[in-house]
Structures are given as C-alpha cells and as structure tokens.
C-alpha cells in the first residue's frame, strides 16, 4: 500500500472526508441503536399494559373485521421486513450499494420503525378470552411475562448484544478496524436450548392475567412467525457453520430443554 502526499489547499480533503464519513456512520449506528432500545422498552409496556400510553388493549376500537385486517397487515409488514433483510441474499445486495458497516444498523432501524408503526396503528380487540382474578396467581403470571423480557435481553448479551444490534460494526468502522467473522459459540442458555431469545418472547407474549382477543391475536401470530423465523435462521446457520451447527442441533433442544 502506498500513500501519496499532496500539497496545497486541497491536500487535507480526502482525510477529512474519510473521517467525516466514518463519523456519520458512527452517528447513524448510534441513532439506530437508541431507536431500537426505546422501541424495545415500549414493546415491554405495549404487551404488558404498563406505563406506555398505547398498549395492545387500548385505543379507539374499530369493528372486529377492520381490527383483524389492520392488525394482520401491521404484523405482516414487520415479518416481511424482519425476515427478508436477515437473509444472506439481501445482505449481499445491500453491500453493493452501501457500506457493510451499516447493514446491521439499517436492519435494526427498519425493524424498529415497523414496530413503531404497529404500536401506533394497532387496533384493540377488547373481548376477554380469559381473566385471572386471584391476585397472587395474577401477580405470578405478570412476573412471568417480565421474566420473558429479561430472558430476551440477557440472551442477546450472551451472544454479543452490541454486535447483534449494529454498534460493534460502526464503532469498528470508525476506528478503522475490520470486524472479525462471526464465530460459533453456545454460552449459558445456548447450551440448554438453541433459541433462548425466541423462548423469552413467547413467554412474554403469553404470560398475561387478562388475555383479550387482540392480545391473543398478537401472541398467536408472533409465535407462529417465531417458528418460521427459526426455520429460516437455522437454514442460514447450517449454511454458515455446516456440521458444527448440525451436531449442535442434534444435541440441544430448540426451545424447551429435553423436549423440543
């Protein structure tokens, strides 16, 4: 590699432009992460019904048919974006038009925006499917829901939280370092089940003392989508890690230790 020194008023421009580009990339990744984290916290309140102004059970109620159609469209938008952009084909296409350093941040940002749209436009379906009246049991079920969210967050840190949500990539790009290829590892909960993040989501979505029709729709569709996501993700992991992941899949259960 050679370095050509320039003299005159334009000499410093390439270096300044490079620094500006890297700084812009860093800011973009940081903003995407902050939007994600705020969206995640809002999702906790949206599903559990605490603190946030709009939850899965609040808002102006439309007819059952309208609510069903709107909610299915909103969840489909998220599913298409979330699964489509996670595939290797899209990542290769993205790299042709933009820096790979922001690919994950862009994925995270668009996933967050699709969830924000869902929270904003979600139509409540208030008919009650079940309601737990016993205070102690209701409290246990509510705590179970929050435990699910903790499992989700904890599991992301087990496999490099900041890389999963794009910060590692933009920080490394800013520092002029190359991010090392993903390594196969099974720390903590991953030694017991293959998909603890998905398990946490399922627990969080279903553990509620009051299950309305709208909440049931949300929980059922997202759970079905999780199983589709597992299929697609494991197909990619087999392609990336081959026999190493195949042996892991044969030995470790998918969601429930020793069961499936």
Token representation of residue 106 = 């862009």
Q: Rounded to whole angstroms, how far apart are CA atoms 108 and 11?
A: 37
Q: Rounded to whole angstroms, how far apart are CA atoms 29 and 23?
A: 10
Q: Containing domain of residue 184, as a range? A: 15-251
Q: Kindly state whether residue 46 falls inside one of the protein's structural domains.
A: yes
Q: Kindly state whether residue 10 falls inside one of the protein's structural domains.
A: no
Q: Rounded to whole angstroms, how far apart are CA atoms 59 and 209?
A: 20
How do the pLDDT tens digits run along the chain, 260 residues long?
333 333 444 444 434 338 888 899 999 999 999 999 999 999 999 999 999 999 999 988 889 999 999 999 999 999 999 888 888 788 888 888 888 889 999 999 999 999 999 999 999 999 999 999 999 999 999 999 999 999 999 999 999 899 999 999 999 988 888 777 777 888 999 999 999 999 999 999 999 999 999 999 999 999 999 999 999 999 989 988 999 999 999 999 999 998 88
Q: Do residues 211 and 129 make contact, with C-beta atoms less than 8 angstroms apart? A: yes
Q: Kindly state whether residue 257 falls inside one of the protein's structural domains.
A: no
Contacts of 18 by beta carbon, 8 Å cutoff, 6+ apart: none
Q: Kindly state whether residue 258 falls inside one of the protein's structural domains.
A: no
Q: Kindly state whether residue 68 falls inside one of the protein's structural domains.
A: yes
Q: Kindly state whether residue 256 falls inside one of the protein's structural domains.
A: no
| Residue 175: per-residue pLDDT | 87
Q: Which of 206, 103, 80, 228 has its CA nearest to residue 147? A: 206
Contacts of 194 by beta carbon, 8 Å cutoff, 6+ apart: 234, 248, 249, 252, 253, 254, 255
Q: Rounded to whole angstroms, how far apart are CA atoms 23 and 25?
A: 5
Question: Residue 2 — left, alpha, or beta (φ > 0 → left; ψ -120 to 50 → alpha)?
Answer: beta
Q: Rounded to whole angstroms, how far apart are CA atoms 17 and 35?
A: 27
The total of structural domains in the chain comes to 1
Q: Rounded to whole angstroms, how far apart are CA atoms 55 and 45?
A: 7
Q: Kindly state whether residue 4 falls inside one of the protein's structural domains.
A: no
């Amino acid at each position: 590699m050679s370095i050509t020194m320039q003299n005159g008023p334009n000499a410093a421009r390439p270096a300044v432009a490079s620094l500006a580009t890297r700084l812009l990339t860093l800011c973009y990744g940081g903003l995407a992460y902050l939007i994600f984290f705020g969206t995640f916290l809002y999702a906790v309140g949206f599903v559990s019904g605490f603190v946030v102004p709009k939850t899965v059970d609040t808002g102006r109620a439309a007819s059952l048919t309208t609510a069903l159609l709107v909610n299915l469209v909103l969840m489909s938008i998220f599913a298409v974006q979330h699964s489509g952009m996670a595939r290797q084909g899209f990542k290769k296409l993205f790299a042709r038009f933009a820096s790979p350093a922001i690919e994950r941040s862009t994925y995270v940002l668009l996933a967050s925006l699709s969830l924000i749209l869902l929270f904003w436009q979600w139509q409540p379906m208030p008919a009650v499917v079940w309601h737990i009246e016993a205070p102690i049991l209701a409290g246990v079920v509510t705590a179970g829901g929050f435990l699910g969210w903790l499992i989700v967050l904890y599991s992301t840190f087990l496999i490099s939280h900041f890389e999963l949500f794009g910060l590692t990539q933009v920080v490394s790009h800013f520092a002029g370092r190359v991010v090392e290829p993903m390594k196969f590892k099974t720390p903590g909960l991953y030694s017991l089940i293959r998909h603890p993040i998905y398990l946490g989501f399922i627990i969080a979505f279903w553990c509620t003392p009051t299950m309305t029709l709208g909440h049931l729709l949300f929980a059922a569709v997202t759970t079905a989508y999780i199983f589709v996501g597992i299929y697609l993700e494991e197909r990619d992991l087999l392609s990336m890690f081959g026999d190493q992941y195949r042996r892991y899949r044969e030995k470790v259960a998918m969601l429930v230790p020793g069961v499936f």
